[in-house]
Amino acid sequence: MLGAFANAFKTPDLRRKILFVLFIVVIFRIGSVVPAPGVNVQSLDVCLRQSQTGANANLYNLINLFSGGALLQLAIFALGIMPYITASIILQLLTVVIPRLESLKKEGQAGQGKITQYTRFLTVGLAILQATAFVALARTPGRLFQGCDLPLLHSDKVFPVVVMVLTMTAGTGVVMWLGELITDRGVGNGMSILIFTQIVATFPTQLWAIRKDRGVGTFLVVIAIGLVIVAAVIFIEQAQRRIPVQYAKRMVGRKMFGGTSTYIPLKVNQAGVIPVIFASSLMYLPVLVSQFRQEEKWAQWIQANLVRGDHWIYMVTYVALIIFFTYFYVSITFNPKEVADNMKKYGGFIPGIRAGRPTEEYLSYVLSRITLPGAIYLAIVSMIPLIALVLLNASQNFPFGGTSILIMVGVGLDTVKQIESQLQQRNYEGFLR
């Protein structure tokens, strides 16, 4: 592998692409630690240290994960890539229900460009809303950091607050631009690499916190467990059910076309990390609402049962939501009827299955059976930090689990495959042997 990596750097154009990606990553990380104008850095550091295990900090854990810790540091890139992810998911869901978006999706590259433009506009709108809400919370430190009463802002007047909101919104726009630069001029998907960078950036701090709080023995055990989890996630992410497809021969003019054999790859984890993000967001929503009505009985019940990750009600609800959203997301992203119609249109068929409706029913049957183990797999991986909370009391610092490990492995595999394909074009041995 090291030899193949050296060969990648020996190729001038591939070396330029890799160095360009590293340059963008450095810029991205600098913007993630530079505080926004008007932030009281000294008070913020004190509040961060005091609320490492605070329940309120957990509310923003998902966004803070995608920002590499920049959110709770009130940095320029505090919102990170989360508004873009949310906008992309919303547009993807709306494509199913809005005919105009569905027709754009079928127009190829031109239609996809329009959808990308809509995603950018929606990203800016979501960034304004999220930045406004977060700066409003920062004006009341106790809501953002449990037990903190120090002023996080030098001034909470209108003009400084507006400047902070505009700065964070502009930061989101810059992050979106950096991601597109990586996609166009670098290697891999730019947005995915930026998310990967922010997640990896928190690993040293999390591992060192476990070493400091729990000792060397627990630290080594966590490393060993982490390696096993990564290997298992890679195995499942690569697993797929291949449905064979045969194309009949046909004459076009004087030439013969078709007669080839291929397959439809149905991954075990067809939905990716999206169900975990949906479930996490939905679990945080009632807790966030209950903070504003703490005197109500329903709010007290939510605070008692849906805030603590080691509570059985929290665990059962979380697992159920992940399984539900896995089936829901797979059902809207993979259309068996459309696949069956396309196969019939081009003369393709599954051996032993008639074209048309029988093929659609067969694909639906296989998809429903393969989605269940994928949903259970996502639920187990997502429960790893909660299990670590029960066994090691280290949920806040346990990096090998949940959304982070799924994204890291997925992005890592995709990037390595792209480098591998470029190396194979130049007759070099790649990473995967």
Distance CA 234, CA 228 (A): 10
Domain boundary at 162, 186, 202, which?
A: 202
pLDDT digits (tens, 9 = 90+) for 159-178: 888 999 999 999 999 999 99
146: in domain: yes
Select the more confidently predicted residue: 54 or 108: 108
CA end-to-end span of the chain = 9
Which of 257, 228, 274, 259 shows the shortest CA–CA distance to 401? 228
355: in domain: yes
pLDDT digits (tens, 9 = 90+) for 363-395: 999 998 899 999 999 888 888 777 765 666 555
- The model carries a pTM of 0.78
> Chain-wide mean pLDDT for the chain?
79
410: in domain: no
* 188: confidence class by pLDDT, cuts 50, 70, 90: confident
In the chain, % of residues over pLDDT 90: 11
Instruction: Mark whether 109 and 189 lie in a shared domain.
Output: yes
125: in domain: yes
Instruction: Mark whether 195 and 215 lie in a shared domain.
Output: no
Cβ-based neighbours of 387, under 8 Å, separated by 6 or more? 401
Instruction: Mark whether 230 and 210 lie in a shared domain.
Output: yes
Which of 189, 250, 205, 258 shows the shortest CA–CA distance to 394? 205
Instruction: Mark whether 235 and 196 lie in a shared domain.
Output: no
Instruction: Mark whether 230 and 362 lie in a shared domain.
Output: yes
Domain boundary at 202, 220, 239, which?
A: 202
Domain boundary at 202, 227, 257, which?
A: 202
Beta carbons of 244 and 263 less than 8 angstroms apart: yes
Distance CA 401, CA 380 (A): 9
Count of the separate structural domains present in the chain: 2
The CB density around residue 296, as the number of other CB atoms within 10 Å, is 11
Lowest mean pLDDT among 119-128, 295-304, 329-338, 348-357: 295-304
Task: Please determine, for residue 24, whether its predicted confidence score (pLDDT) is greater than 90.
Answer: yes
Can you give the residue range of the structural domain that contains 264?
204-398
pLDDT digits (tens, 9 = 90+) for 316-355: 888 898 899 899 888 888 888 888 888 888 778 888 888 8
* 66: confidence class by pLDDT, cuts 50, 70, 90: low
Instruction: Mark whether 43 and 141 lie in a shared domain.
Output: yes
Tokens at residue 37, please? 């104008």
431: in domain: no
* 238: confidence class by pLDDT, cuts 50, 70, 90: confident
Instruction: Mark whether 243 and 326 lie in a shared domain.
Output: yes
- Map residue 396 onto helix, strand or coil: helix
Instruction: Mark whether 7 and 118 lie in a shared domain.
Output: yes
Instruction: Mark whether 155 and 208 lie in a shared domain.
Output: no
139: in domain: yes
Instruction: Mark whether 183 and 262 lie in a shared domain.
Output: no
Instruction: Mark whether 253 and 298 lie in a shared domain.
Output: yes
Instruction: Mark whether 175 and 196 lie in a shared domain.
Output: yes
CATH number assigned to the domain comprising residue 382:
1.10.3370.10
- Report CA torsion sign: 51, 287, 400, 81: negative
